[in-house]
A and B are shown apart, each in its own frame.
Chain A
């Protein structure tokens, strides 16, 4: 399996006045196609910084980062934007859907920033992405007409619409109750298993990490542990285990 993501001795330093804050102190790892990786760490461990680097929102101070065999180091701002547009799908803790905009239009958004996609193709692909998250029947609904879980599913559809090599989920269940969290995790597991989507999930809850196939633990800007989960929990089973309507 080819490496979809490869980091070699990544360092990231921020200069805050006279101080130099070393957020990442040399991190190396690689992720292969089809993996479901969770990144864990307490706050201040460099988790967010690493996420920004993986998401090509930021560039490392030192070290090389290859995304789908492209070395990010040599890219300028616009090329980074293009890379994000084509290779990465973002899922955020707070969904970040555009208000008063239909689910379909929200999902279409990344395609609007791509060249040479016709209106009909855009609609079609957005509908397909909504089907993947089982929300095709709600395509006309605006975010405030959808539940939290449904909103996050729209956001996942948006992350899938550009057919990225990597889905980057930043605490995707952070704003959701347990049941809905499991639903989202189930969806992510299905995408990973059935469609071979590479997923990188950032969380601080150990419980959530058990649903992934591999876990990276960060501490003080360094990779503390990197291990394969021998027993991956199935979100479907976990969902079945909790009683329906328990939070009503």
Chain B
């Protein structure tokens, strides 16, 4: 029998029981729909995490002092108190590492920012002109400080929105105003664009940026710096840049081969991959749950096909008596099962897409419809049809026509 006849026979048989065919499909529809939706939510949240990181600067490299060797007496000290990074290191990196596009020393001091009767506890970040570009920060009102300010230890600063809110009246222009940090007055020359919280819930707007020279000389009175921030030219180069920085710093710190690094270099890339792993795991978990419903849908097909075979025993007997071979009957029932699963799969894909749009538009969750997920769940669906349709079809095809014709 040719394929079209087979298809025609199976379609006709299904058309005789439309409601049942639809109800059987429902399991598959829900299964496929759920798999697609879950994967869309999974990919969406993964991308959202990645976006958060890139807004923090994906090619950012941070160097901080680090020591694994306790002080005499066994006391371990925090990285901000280790004095190993200096401006000399920054200059060496600037001179020797080629694949970085921006570089800034970092030294921060926490304290009370005061203006008139208002005050706010915050953190003052001493950095170079490049700092804003490394952290993907931008100035919305006023300007960033410049290299002249750095050279002259100028008491100028750029402030974040949270600081503005807490020190200024609504609508007041902070640019040109003087605020005090501790006892030292600073002139506000710029306000940063609002950035909101990052993935960890940290307020990225609660910041004051001032020239590192000013912080080192006037606020902290220190010749050491706490961090070195750098930007790799490209995201892919961050690993290589990291290696170069390590090499430069080791030679700068005159470390012997067997000595451990007295600093630690981290890139955003490492963080991203950690977060992506977590997100992937969640996606896998959700998809696995959804896949279970697909299997249950398949069992539904098997169940109905068995019922259908029993119910249509006489029809099978008739078909055999007028010339249908066992193979024809097998293929007919198999085709019916596959049609159910394919149609169910297609409707499921549509349902999954609609549900994803619904979630994206009404719940405002980040979602990405994954074409591979669609393809895979559709194929799984067809395989489900073949697998769960095979045994009922085999049962139908092995009936004895004489018995089947007499079946009541």
Contacts and interface: CB of A to CB of B under 8 A. Distances in A.
A105 B321 contact: no
A9 B2 CA distance: 39
B326 A78 contact: yes
A32 to B, nearest CB: 24
Interface stretch (A17-25, A85-93, A239-247): A85-93
B12 A81 contact: no
A158 interface: yes
Contacts of B328: 113
A163 interface: no
A57 interface: yes
A113 B326 contact: no
B323 A85 contact: yes
A113 B323 contact: yes
Interface in B312-352: 314-315, 317-328
Given A99-B16, A105-B12, A112-B5, A57 B321 contact: yes
B405 interface: yes
B18 to A, nearest CB: 10
B69 to A, nearest CB: 85
A77 interface: yes
A55 B315 CA distance: 17
B323 A114 contact: yes
B16 A90 contact: no
Given A57-B402, A96-B405, A90 B2 contact: no
A115 interface: yes
A114 B318 CA distance: 15
A197 interface: no
Interface in A99-118: 99-101, 105, 109-110, 112-115
Interface in B276-304: none
B405 A92 contact: yes
Nearest to B18: A100
B331 to A, nearest CB: 11
A113 B1 contact: yes
A82 interface: yes
Contacts of B326: 77-78, 81
A11 interface: no
A96 B408 CA distance: 12
B325 A77 contact: yes
B12 A86 contact: no
A58 interface: yes
Contacts of A81: 320, 323-326
Interface size class of A (residues with CB under 8 A): 20 to 34
A115 B2 contact: yes
Contacts of A109: 319, 322
Contacts of B405: 57, 92, 96
B401 interface: yes
Contacts of B1: 112-113, 115
A6 interface: no
Nearest to A84: B323
A128 interface: no
A87 B152 CA distance: 110
Contacts of A58: 402
Contacts of A57: 320-321, 401-402, 405
A228 B115 CA distance: 127
A92 B322 CA distance: 12
B323 A86 contact: yes
Interface string A68-86: 0000000001100110111
A113 B316 CA distance: 13
A97 B320 CA distance: 13
A52 interface: yes
Contacts of B401: 57
A77 B324 CA distance: 11
A84 B12 contact: no
B9 interface: yes
Given A112-B8, A113-B328, A85 B402 contact: no
A96 B323 contact: no
A82 B401 CA distance: 14
A6 to B, nearest CB: 22
A115 B321 CA distance: 17
Contacts of A100: 15-16
A98 interface: yes
Nearest to A113: B323
B326 to A, nearest CB: 7
Interface in A200-242: none
Given A98-B16, A113-B328, A162-B323, 10 more contacts: A57-B402, A78-B326, A82-B323, A96-B315, A98-B318, A100-B15, A109-B319, A110-B322, A112-B5, A113-B5
13 contacts: A55-B321, A57-B321, A77-B326, A81-B320, A82-B323, A84-B322, A84-B323, A99-B16, A100-B16, A101-B12, A112-B1, A112-B5, A112-B9
Task: Please name the 8 residue pairs, one residue from A and one from B, whose CB atoms are nearest each other, closest first.
Answer: A85-B323, A113-B323, A100-B16, A110-B322, A81-B325, A96-B318, A78-B325, A112-B5
